[in-house]
């Protein structure tokens, strides 16, 4: 497919104070767009000035949420070059989400190539200060204008870019987690493994309850027994339990996180034994009390690694490591961000330089 590059008519002012950049609030000058029609396939691929779409109010995405997205980052290295982290994994997951949501897949090579062209054109939007990056959001929405629960005949696929500030503005501080015994995020056979908007809409109510009680994030338990850890907010969760790295297995209810996958590889290299099994709430509460559970951290593109300081379940709160960042947590954070920003060698071929 040909890619058209349309001229830019206006440039937005650059954000000078990179430390003040909030997540997902600012967008660059250009975006990528392509369209799909049944019988014709993907067409009209173009890089165009960033701007709103005109969509029919009956478009299927507005009613039945046929939508998927991805999230990855471009990092500015000390030598000024720009690096993407495991972007092929995001392309592959985009297509897996597409299949689950009955949407057309994209040509992964073309999509990645286009993404790179877009980031290259917008290179001066990639911030330079410590811990900043350019967040990349590939998205697909159902645009056929019809009321009726069915896969759309038409789609729009696009990529937008957002410069984001440092991960940890107030330092690398442990967060407080509320374990929900009432709400769940996804059930076996559901869409938990797909990166689709409905999963996130469904999580808002519990997140609001948690915030009202002063917690940073919600920990989701499994929907069947309400006993086993699944995910935290929009991160996978890792524990250091009995001197092993324990993380929930991929059984279709949680997102197959690219950061999670990377941490498992790094743990293997650091000779920390790995157990892919779901920890129970009792193991968290008792393990924090008797010291078997020494550390916990979330993993995801937004923060890389996010230390957990406290868990609260019903009326019981436990604190890990005196609410200080654990040694393994820090090691993983430094190893991963070191590779992303080029401070450490990339021995896995995870980094793609532009
Ligand atoms: C629900 C959920 N779990 C886990 C993750 C972490 O995935 P990744 O490491 O690929 O960013 C994300 C996204 O960032 C997510 O939305």
Q: Given the DSSP bridges, would you call strands 133-142 and 217-221 parallel, antiparallel or unpaired?
A: unpaired
- Dist CA 245 CA 123 (whole Å): 37
196 in the same domain as 136: no
Read off the CATH number of the domain in which 120 is found: 3.30.470.10
34 in the same domain as 77: yes
Tally of domains within the chain: 2
Q: Exposed, middle or buried by CB within 10 Å (0-12, 13-18, 19+), for 214?
A: exposed
| DSSP designation for 59 | B
103 in the same domain as 16: yes
Q: Of the candidates 112, 132, 164, which is a domain's last residue?
A: 164
Q: Give me ligand 1 centre to Cα 39, in Å.
A: 33
285 in the same domain as 183: yes
120 in the same domain as 245: no
Q: Is the CB of 299 under 6 A from ligand 1?
A: yes
CA dihedral (4, 9, 15, 16) positive or negative: positive
Domain range holding 13?
Answer: 4-164
Read off the CATH number of the domain in which 242 is found: 3.20.10.10
Q: How far apart are the first and last CA of the chain?
A: 21
Q: Is the CB of 235 under 6 A from ligand 1?
A: yes
Q: Is the CB of 216 under 6 A from ligand 1?
A: no
Q: Of the candidates 164, 195, 219, which is a domain's last residue?
A: 164
pLDDT tens digits, 121-180: 999 999 998 889 999 999 999 999 999 999 999 999 999 999 998 777 666 889 999 999
Q: Is the CB of 231 under 6 A from ligand 1?
A: yes
203 in the same domain as 77: no
pLDDT tens digits, 79-128: 999 999 999 999 999 999 999 999 999 999 999 999 999 999 999 999 99
pLDDT tens digits, 12-69: 988 888 888 888 899 999 999 999 999 999 999 999 999 999 999 999 999 999 999 9
Q: Give me ligand 1 centre to Cα 299, in Å.
A: 7
- pLDDT attached to residue 22: 86
The reply to whether 349 falls in a domain is no
138 in the same domain as 245: no
């Amino acid at each position: 497919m040909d890619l058209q590059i349309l001229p830019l008519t206006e440039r937005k002012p650059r954000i000078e104070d990179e430390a003040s950049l909030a997540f997902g609030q600012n967008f660059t000058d250009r975006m990528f767009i392509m369209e799909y029609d049944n019988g014709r396939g993907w067409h009209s691929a173009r890089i165009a000035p960033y701007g709103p779409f005109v969509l029919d109010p009956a478009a299927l995405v507005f009613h039945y949420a046929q939508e998927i997205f991805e999230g990855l980052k471009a990092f500015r290295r000390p030598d000024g070059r720009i690096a993407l982290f495991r972007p092929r994994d995001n392309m592959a997951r985009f297509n897996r989400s597409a299949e689950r949501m009955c949407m057309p897949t994209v040509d992964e090579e073309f999509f990645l190539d286009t993404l790179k062209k877009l980031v290259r054109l917008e290179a001066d939007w990639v911030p330079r200060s410590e811990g900043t990056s350019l967040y990349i959001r590939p998205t697909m929405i159902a645009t056929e204008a019809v009321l009726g629960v069915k896969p759309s005949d038409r789609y729009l696929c696009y990529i937008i870019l957002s410069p984001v500030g440092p991960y940890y503005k107030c330092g690398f501080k442990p967060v407080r987690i509320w374990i929900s015994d009432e709400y769940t995020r996804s059930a076996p056979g559901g869409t938990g493994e797909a990166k689709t908007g409905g999963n996130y809409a469904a999580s808002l109510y519990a997140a609001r309850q948690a915030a009202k009680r002063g917690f940073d994030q919600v920990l989701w338990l499994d929907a069947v027994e309400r006993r086993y850890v699944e995910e935290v907010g929009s991160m996978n969760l890792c524990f250091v339990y009995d001197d092993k790295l324990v993380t929930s297995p991929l059984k279709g209810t949680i997102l197959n996180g690219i950061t999670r996958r990377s941490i498992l590889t790094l743990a293997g290299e650091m000779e920390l034994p790995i157990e892919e099994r779901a920890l129970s709430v009792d193991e968290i509460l008792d393990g924090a009390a008797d010291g078997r559970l020494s550390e916990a951290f979330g993993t995801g593109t937004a923060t890389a690694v996010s230390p957990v300081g406290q868990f609260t379940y019903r009326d019981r709160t436990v604190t890990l490591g005196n609410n200080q960042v654990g040694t393994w947590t820090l090691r993983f954070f430094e190893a991963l961000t070191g590779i992303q920003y080029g401070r450490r060698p990339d021995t896995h071929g995870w980094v793609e330089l532009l």
